[in-house]
Structure 1
Amino acid sequence: MDGAWRLAGVAVAILVAGGTGAPALADTPVDLELVLAVDVSGSVDAEEGRLQREGYVAALTDPKIQAAIRGGPFGRIAVTYVEWAGDSFQRITVPWTLLSDHGSVEAFASSIAESPTLSAQWTSISAAIDFSARLFNDNGFEGTRRVIDVSGDGVNNRGRPVQWARDEAVAAGITINGLPILNDRPNPWGGAAPTNLDGYYEEHVIGGPGAFLVPAVSFEAFADAILSKLLLEISGLTPDHGAGARTGLASR
């Protein structure tokens, strides 16, 4: 009988340790959960891809970004870096990382710079949004804001309509900001660059509370544009329209 009671006690201990009796680990509170979703489709040639990456690295290591991170109520944010192209190509280049001080930001930027460069055909902003939205699930963080930051140099030409993906993400409490890269360079196979890309992003891509876009007038201007955009996103501020930024409709 004593052996039976001992077995029962062991069973109860196992249930408490591995079942509903064990307290769940709490997510780490942060001021912002941010997905940096970067276009690496075929329209982005090797030089443009290099300029994009260097732009993110330069922006993230800027002292103003680190001051903005420390200036939030929690003094920390969570960020992941995603590269995307067609509807079947999305990859996590750098996984979710807690950024709270100089060392963590520098390490995150170095991971971006050192990752192998890959590319694929077509441009599916909708698939990029769908993929990015799922990354907020069970990521170990709980942010006061959740944002997908989409940068790219073309319109959606694969997958479902981008506004459908945007609307579903917004309904889930996610804000989508945009950084359209405006340039007149033909793509690698000779096609013309899209016209009015900033208008396209404003109408079809961005959405959610406080959504905005900051156009980069060229790949060379990308670093300055992403710095301005990250400062706004981390600080939760409204963009200055005089600087070329545009806000979106919170309802969509």
Structure 2
Amino acid sequence: MRISLLSLFLLAAPVHATEVDLELVLLADASGSIDQSEIDLQRQGYAAAITHPDVLYAISSTLTGSIAVTYVEWAANQVVVADWAIITTPEDAQAFADRLLEPPRLASGRNAIGAALLAGKRLIEENDITGLRRVIDFSGDSANNWSGPSIEEARADVLAAGITINALPLMRSPADGWDSPLVQIYEDRIIGGPGAFLVPADTGARFTEAVRRKLILEIAGSQPEAGAIPTVAPNSAP
């Protein structure tokens, strides 16, 4: 069989990773304190947010016009609900949203936050995507860590890899605000890296709005202006 020089060149040429503006791992709480209605709320909230025109506009305004995103539910174990997808068009976003809503609940058990953060790091490092920025977005309704690596150890490993950690602390009541201990714990122990911030969200109707706001900030690679978005706290310190 005769092989052309072009074929030999193509076989020998290095495979280049897909380049996007942002690699984003969405780590959603599925531990024992989260019931099925809250699993559904989180998935539906992210599905609605990723397909929202404001989020799509933020994606199109990035340097590459694209992001990569995966959705993972975490508890004692960590399970990929929707694998890595490159979002460039509304159709891409809708396909990701559809995949997000399909699987049954797979993660369960008590909290293993350190293991969840390290799982997010592995997903970023082992894919074939090159992101100009790399972010893990962690959501949860507590800061307990019952098994696996400590939060401090895992967080340090993630930040050392150049990955930013943002957070979405889940408030049990709309009345909970910045005086909530969970918000302070997440600010002190979870988020970190350049431009890190958190967006508290209650588990009610305003959840989707908070998710959309957070995604726009992450995609834009910016922090909120002081006072512009009162439910967002920036923290650029590691």
Q: TM-score scaled by structure 1?
A: 0.84
Alpha-carbon separation, structure 2, partners of 1:123 and 1:117: 16
1:210 paired to 2:210? no
Matches within 5 A, 1:126-137: 126-137=114-125
- Number of matched pairs: 227
Match of 1:151, SS? strand
Q: How does 1:36-55 map to 2 (within 5 A)?
A: 36-55=26-45
Q: Provide the secondary structure at the position in 1 that maps to 2:205.
A: helix
Structure 2: tracts of 5 or more residues without a match: 175-179
Counterparts of 1:33 and 1:118 in 2: how far apart (Å)? 23
Do the aligned partners of 1:181 and 1:219 also contact (CA within 8 Å) in 2? no
Give the match's secondary structure for 1:91.
strand
SS of structure 1 residue aligned to 2:171: coil
Kept in 2, the 8 Å contact 1:156–1:162? The answer is: no
The aligned amino acid for 2:119 is F
> 1:249 and 1:164 mapped to 2: Cα distance?
19
- Which among 156, 172, 175 is matched to residue 161 of structure 2? 172
Amino acid at match of 1:47: S
1:114 pairs with 2:106: no
| Residue number among 64, 70, 74 corresponding to 2:60 in the alignment | 70
Q: Paired residue for 1:83?
A: 73
Q: Which of 142, 150, 153 does residue 161 from structure 1 map onto? A: 150
Give the aligned partner of residue 7 of structure 1: none
Question: Which secondary structure does the structure 1 equivalent of 2:153 belong to?
Answer: helix
Distance 2:136 2:59 in 1: 17
What CA distance in whole angstroms lies between the structure 2 residues aligned with 1:37 and 1:219?
Answer: 19
1:149 paired with 2:137, answer yes
Deviations 1:10-65 (A, max 9, x none): 9xx9xx789xx822110111100000111101100111111111111111111101
The CA RMSD measured in Å over matched residues stands at 2.3
Distance in 2, matches of 1:245 and 1:239, equals: 7
Q: Is the 8 A contact 2:79 2:107 kept in 1?
A: no
1:222 corresponds to: 207
Q: Is the Cα contact below 8 Å between 1:173 and 1:208 reproduced in 2? A: yes
Cα distance in 2 for residues equivalent to 1:30 and 1:119? 29
Asked if structure 1 preserves the Cα contact closer than 8 Å seen for 2:41 and 2:203, the reply is: no
Distance in 1 of aligned mates of 2:138 and 2:226 = 19
Measured in 2, the distance between the counterparts of 1:232 and 1:75 equals 15
Any idea what the Cα deviations from partners look like across 1:107-146, whole Å, max 9, x if unmatched?
0011101122234111111111001101112411111100
8 Å contact 2:145–2:151 — kept in the other structure?
Answer: no
Q: Which amino acid aligns with 2:106?
A: L
CA distance in 1, matches of 2:208, 2:226: 19
Aligned equivalent of 1:188 = none
User: Contact 1:42–1:119 at 8 Å: present in 2 too?
Assistant: no
1:65–1:230 Cα contact (<8 Å) kept: yes
Secondary structure in 2 aligned to 1:75?
coil
Higher strand share goes to which structure?
A: 2
1:161 CA displacement: 1.9
SS state of the match for residue 53, structure 1?
A: helix
Which residue identity does 2:216 align to in structure 1?
L
Q: Could you state the TM-score of these two structures normalised by the residue count of structure 2?
A: 0.89
| Aligned residues of 1:52 and 1:219 also touching (Cα < 8 A) | no
**Which blocks of at least 5 consecutive residues in structure 1 are unaligned?**
1-9, 186-194
* Bigger radius of gyration among the two: 1
Identity over the aligned pairs, expressed in percent? 44
